[in-house]
Amino acid sequence: MKIKAGIVGGAGYTGGEMLRLLINHPSVDIAFVLSSSNEGNLVSAVHTDLIGDTDLRFSGELLQDIDVLFLCVGHGDAKKYLAANPVNPSVKIIDLSQDFRLKVNAGDAWIYGLPELNREAIKSANYIANPGCFATCIQLGLLPLAAAGLLKSEVHINATTGSTGAGQSPSATTHFSWRNNNLSVYKAFDHQHLNEIGESLLQADAGFNSSLNFIPQRGDFSRGILAAMYTETSLSAEELQKLYKDYYATHEFTHVSEKNIDLKQVVNTNKALVHVEKHGSKVFIVSIIDNLLKGASGQAVQNMNLMFGLPERQGLALKATAF
């Protein structure tokens, strides 16, 4: 029996990526794709790259006869949607917004869906709060240090994201003529993903209390996040390599590269790559992901695979753009 999946918010970037993944997932049938603004329209009329791949049409109705529901809606809208549209308790829910990521907002019912931190809890979860894209990339760079109790100094983070990270709705800072050949800083020291990063690092190390100095940037490319971080360490370069490789040895999608890394190695995949160097008394870490896949829809499918006992890589054997 295949898993019956429903998607709410299927017209945006994360909804589109969810469709692309699930249409080709061997263990999933898509029961419905809900979009109030596109009800009745062919999915391929909105996501034109899917012409010839599916005859699905957008629905305006939430069906209860499903196994898993993906919420690909805006921040603040997931909680409102579930309040207005009660879902059968037997249905597993994976929310891609930030509404349930923090324990203070969600309590213990929702599990934070970062497999590299919570894989075993995800396997038995009913409700998953999918991590943010910046948060995923940064946490994967810092978790091995936190888990070893070695994040004792403030951390400096500079991370750049592609334009799809801003969502599909147009704005002044996503307009091509502004974004192209441009670079800008936004929400310096105050990005909303800092809260979930802090919670995860505290989970990995109950004594964590170091400052996270995060400078987010808008890049002039479509997809991907590159985060560059540094902090103090007493470990040697060899010890750092071993620490990171040991931590990620059992994780399917996160890999430690001894060579420097670049975004094209991960764009269009669910992979994360991490590179670690020692400079004087500091450890320098670079981590990269595709913001729409490992940073959103790909990670959501990875979580679904874990929740339903499927091979973790199923439906996610994707090819990087490479050049």
- At residue 203, the pLDDT reads 95
Residue 274: name the closest of 131, 115, 137 by CA: 137
Confidence of residue 177 (pLDDT cuts 50, 70, 90): confident
pLDDT at 25 over 70: yes
Choosing from 125, 133, 276, 318, which is the catalytic residue? Answer: 133
Give φ, ψ of 127 to 5 degrees: -130, 125
Tens of pLDDT along 103-137? 877 778 999 999 999 999 999 999 999 999 999 99
3-state helix, strand, coil in the chain (%, to 5): 30, 25, 45
CA distances from 105 to 72, 134, 193, 210 (A): 19, 20, 14, 23
Secondary structure E strands in the chain: 3-8, 28-34, 58-59, 68-71, 92-95, 110-112, 127-129, 155-161, 184-185, 212-218, 225-232, 254-256, 272-279, 282-289
Pair 297, 291: CB distance under 8 Å: no
Confidence of residue 169 (pLDDT cuts 50, 70, 90): low
Q: What is the CA radius of gyration of the chain?
A: 19
Is 133 assigned a catalytic role?
A: yes
Confidence of residue 61 (pLDDT cuts 50, 70, 90): confident
pTM of the predicted protein model? 0.94
DSSP three-state, residue 237: helix
> From CA 141, how far away is CA 62, in angstroms rounded?
38
- At residue 270, the pLDDT reads 98
Q: For the residues 307-311, what does the mean pLDDT come to?
A: 98
> From CA 5, how far away is CA 165, in angstroms rounded?
24
Structure tokens given for 307: 């929740």
pLDDT at 23 over 80: yes
> From CA 72, how far away is CA 15, in angstroms rounded?
5
Percentage of the residues of the chain whose pLDDT score is greater than 70? 98
- Report residue 35 CA to chain centroid gap: 22
- At residue 267, the pLDDT reads 97
DSSP secondary structure code for residue 28 in this structure: E
> From CA 321, how far away is CA 262, in angstroms rounded?
12
Burial of 281 per CB tally in 10 Å (0-12, 13-18, 19+)? exposed
Pair 227, 276: CB distance under 8 Å: no
Tens of pLDDT along 249-283? 999 999 999 999 999 999 999 999 999 999 999 99
Query: What is the enclosing helix (H) or strand (E) of 6?
Result: strand 3-8
> From CA 119, how far away is CA 150, in angstroms rounded?
22
Q: Which residues pair with 279 in a beta bridge?
A: 282
Give the sign of the dihedral formed by CA 233, CA 243, CA 289, CA 255: positive
CB-hemisphere CA count at 13 Å for 212?
Answer: 26
- At residue 168, the pLDDT reads 62
